[in-house]
Amino acid sequence: MKPTTPAFPKTPPNLFLTGFMGTGKSSLARILAERWKRPLLDTDYLIEQYVRMPVRNFFEKNGEAAFRDLERRCIEEWVPANNTIVACGGGLVIPDGMVELLKSKGITVCLFASVETILRRTAHTTHRPLLQAENPEERIRELLARREKIYMRAGAGILTDGRTFPEIADRIERIYLGELARRAKEAVA
């Protein structure tokens, strides 16, 4: 079935896709931006343009804390107030106050996947500094354990294992439209 573009308000809220590395944020953001005909941003890409080097090199040169500062700046200053689909780097939502910041600028959905799926999707890639470990599986488990609580409160959660991207996109669309309806109701109450 061909997807239809839902009727959105004139200035629809941003959609932020969050979640661990390899959960499909960038692919789904691309699908939804095309489907809804809305601008697409990727925080890693924005930062790479700003610092003029790949994320991995920036991590090596300046450390993770400097990268997190740029991620905050990216959301605070570079992401427009509405209408945009934003794929967030996997750790963006983790520092204190970032969940709240995202929620204040749009609707947030958090994607989840099993360690096996994450491992499969991120194997053979070298651009993620935090996964350049001797034992990537152990690193993924360790990071997930540390971050899990925050992901759980980072927005409506979707388990992506065993679902196709179009199916997950439908799910995100339903969550987004549901939240829009809830806000509209709240506004007239």
Residues at the site binding ligand S3P, with contacts judged by CB under 6 A: 21, 25-26, 44, 55, 89-91, 128-130
- Residue 48: CB minimum distance to ligand S3P, A: 10
3 or 54: whose CB is closer to ligand S3P?
54
- Residue pair 43/92 in contact by the 8 Å Cβ criterion: yes
- Written as one letter, the residue type at 2 is K
Question: Please, which residue, 20 or 176, has the CB nearer to ligand S3P?
Answer: 20
CB-nearer residue toward ligand S3P: 58 or 176:
58
Give the nearest distance from C-beta 50 to ligand S3P in angstroms.
13
Q: Which residue has the tokens 């980072």?
A: 154
Q: How far is the CB of 18 from ligand S3P (least distance, A)?
A: 9
Question: Smallest distance from the beta carbon of 71 to ligand S3P, in angstroms?
Answer: 7
Task: Choose between 3 and 136: whose C-beta lies nearer to ligand S3P.
Answer: 136
In angstroms, give the least distance from the CB of 2 to ligand S3P. 29
Q: Closer CB to ligand S3P, residue 25 or residue 105?
A: 25
- Count of CB atoms situated within 10 Å of the CB of 137: 14
